[in-house]
Amino acid sequence: MDYWLSYIDEDPDQAIEVARAAERAGFTGIALADHVVVPLAYGSQHPSGGPTPFDHRTPFPDPLVTAASVLASTTRFLAMTYVYVLPAREPFSVASQVATLDRLSQSRFRFGVGAGWLEEEIAMLGHPIRDRGRRMDEMLEILRGFWSDDAFEYHGKFFDFAASGISPRPLAPVPIWVGGKSPAALARAVRHEGWLGMNYDLPEIHALLEDLQRRLARHRDATGEAKADFEVFVIPNAEPSEALYEGLAKRGVTATMGSAWPYGDRSSASLGAKIDRIGAFAERFIRG
């Protein structure tokens, strides 16, 4: 089981030192959230089904810039977006930014993407809300095309352009991990390199994992592609324990969020407190 450190709603000035401490402790990488602009009032429902756990005052430093800083300050540590709201952007700058990040970090970046739930934010950024899942699918095809081909053209419903290219391209295909629990999100994940589950109760996680495994088996039968390195990342709504993580691993989970401190726990606001809690978590679950 790989353990990633969540860094959401925390002091951005501490991010580099926290990442260095997590790397020393044996964490796989750091997970970085994504919001560009948060309206004061909106009608969209948070995926958890409960109240939104943040507002417009919550720090959301740009995840690609933060990833670049963290990766430049570490040696083996990884960084991922959890998750990058792809339909809130256009594909061309994203393809260039992620390719550049891959090259500068020696392929230590993992691109976690999702369709997004805060519709008002996507609209404010000038992109359509309707059909954003299908628009996202086209964007993912475009990213792959630019990253693999010297010149690439595309003719779809949402994007239509003649042969073009970006440079530099990634050193190797950038792993794309797809977040979400809808049938469309699970199907999208199977077409790529991994699935990112959010905060779900264990019965729901078990059902989603069974659905995911069925989809992976059908994909293997249809394409001959076994996807042996497919990433299965979940965050269970449960108290961390050895038995919890062992049970998830037996069900095919490859990674989880190593909750060194609970979300929103202000007793861990200082850098020293964070480093101490990172060490304590690692001693129990990573090195133990």
Question: Residue 265: CB partners within 8 Å, gap ≥ 6?
Answer: none
Residue indicated by tokens 């519709």: 119
Residues 199 and 143 in one domain: no
Angle, helix 202-223 to helix 183-190, in steps of 10 degrees: 50
Residues 186 and 169 in one domain: no
Residues 227 and 152 in one domain: no
73 is a domain residue: no
Residues 167 and 190 in one domain: no
Q: Among the three residues 114, 148, 174, which one is the final residue of a domain in this structure? A: 174
Main-chain dihedrals φ then ψ at residue 115, nearest 5 degrees: -80, -15
Residues 87 and 143 in one domain: yes
Express as a percent the part of the chain with pLDDT over 70: 100
Residues 169 and 89 in one domain: yes
Q: List pLDDT tens digits, range 207-228.
A: 999 999 999 999 999 999 889 8
**128 DSSP assignment:** -
Q: List pLDDT tens digits, range 19-43.
A: 999 999 999 999 999 999 999 999 9
Confidence category of residue 50, pLDDT binned at 50, 70, 90: confident
Q: Please report, in angstroms and rounded to a whole number, the separation of the first and last CA atoms in the chain.
A: 13
- Rounded to the nearest integer, the mean pLDDT of the chain is 96
User: How many domains is the chain built from?
Assistant: 2
Task: Check: CB of residue 29 under 8 Å from CB of residue 77.
Answer: yes
108 is a domain residue: yes
CA angle 252, 255, 259 (to 5 degrees): 135
Residues 168 and 209 in one domain: no
Q: List pLDDT tens digits, range 222-267.
A: 999 889 899 999 999 999 999 999 999 999 999 999 989 988 889 9
pLDDT of residue 104: 97
Confidence category of residue 51, pLDDT binned at 50, 70, 90: confident
User: Domain residues for 106?
Assistant: 83-174
- Helix runs in 13-168, H state only: 15-25, 63-72, 91-104, 119-124, 132-148
Q: Among the three residues 157, 174, 191, which one is the final residue of a domain in this structure? A: 174
Q: Among the three residues 112, 146, 174, which one is the final residue of a domain in this structure? A: 174
